[in-house]
Amino acid sequence: MNTDGPGDAWAQRIFGGFRKTSERLAENLSGIVAKTRLDESQLDDIEDALIMSDLGPRAAARIRDRLAEERFERDADERAIMEVVAREIAEILRPVAKPLEIVAFPRPQVILVIGVNGSGKTTTIAKLAHLFQEQDYSVMLAAGDTFRAAAIGQLAVWADRLGVEIVKGPEGGDPASVVFDAVKAATGKGIDALIVDTAGRLQNKRELMDELAKIRRVLGRLNPEAPHDVVLVLDATNGQNALSQIEIFKEVAGVSGLIMTKLDGTARGGVLVAAAEQYGLPIHAIGVGEKIDDLRPFNPDLLARVIAGVA
């Protein structure tokens, strides 16, 4: 799979999405000049700048350690320092840059999509469906977030636009029943990927945990391997708050991978690095705009250079 997205337009949206992070880093590192090695005070300043840019304390400490070992061939200016930062960010991102592959047999591959309300979850489901369609996979949607009529309606609109079937139930209905009907329908029609929208209410963790456990039990009766993926959608504009959502949803839902959305405009893109270093979960794709094709897997080396401002 091409992980660079569809050409220059995609690359430009990546640059736009991470501009705030790279600008913040550049501002905080301005004026740092060293000889062949950085001293402790300079390393402290760089570590602080990385944390302020939402890369998180663990990634910042790792990059600091790498810089402390570095011997520069000539005076270390901002560009030379950021080249090293970019290389270390790439080392952090490479192991987690894993596109979501349709490999389940028997079909369908069941993908539960979770995330708090407002994270872009429903739109991300549509974009993910479009991405699979581009790869010639058949897709079905299931409206498992039955507690919000708006969520059911929005997903139905997207299903119509994409030309895919959707299984839905009444508002306030049993999500597990919707998922059961969807798996039966997808299996009968030979669908490759079934994408299931789920509720994102964190106000009552126990209730949400019970609901997801029931969905898992129902799926297990139909296919012991299902769900094959549990994907958490995160809003990058939440910065470090996104990390706390990973912590909660790992406990509640057994998250297997992440999708990071809203990495355009004022997004705090450094949190992508923080999530990769702290949790090591696969990051399947990033969203950098509102268009249907604005969700793509990413090239970790290019993204690292964009974040460091040396692309």
What residues are designated binding site?
Answer: 115-122, 197-201, 261-264
What residues are designated binding site for GTP?
Answer: 115-122, 197-201, 261-264
How many angstroms separate the CA atoms of 297 and 205, rounded?
30
How many angstroms separate the CA atoms of 40 and 37, rounded?
10
Q: Any idea which residue has 């490759």 for tokens?
A: 192
Q: Which residues pair with residue 295 across a beta bridge?
A: 287
| Angle, alpha carbons 185-187-188 (nearest 5°) | 65
| Cβ-based neighbours of 153, under 8 Å, separated by 6 or more | none
Q: To the nearest 10°, report the CA torsion of 305, 308, 310, 311.
A: 30
Q: How many CB atoms lie within 10 A of CB 310?
A: 19
| Cβ-based neighbours of 296, under 8 Å, separated by 6 or more | 3, 4, 5, 6, 10, 131, 285, 286, 288
Report the Cα–Cα distance between both ends of the chain, in Å, rounded.
22
Identity of the residue numbered 194: L
| Angle, alpha carbons 224-228-234 (nearest 5°) | 145
Q: Exposed/middle/buried for 3, CB within 10 Å: 0-12, 13-18, 19+?
A: middle
Evaluate whether 280 touches 234 at the Cβ level (below 8 Å).
Answer: no
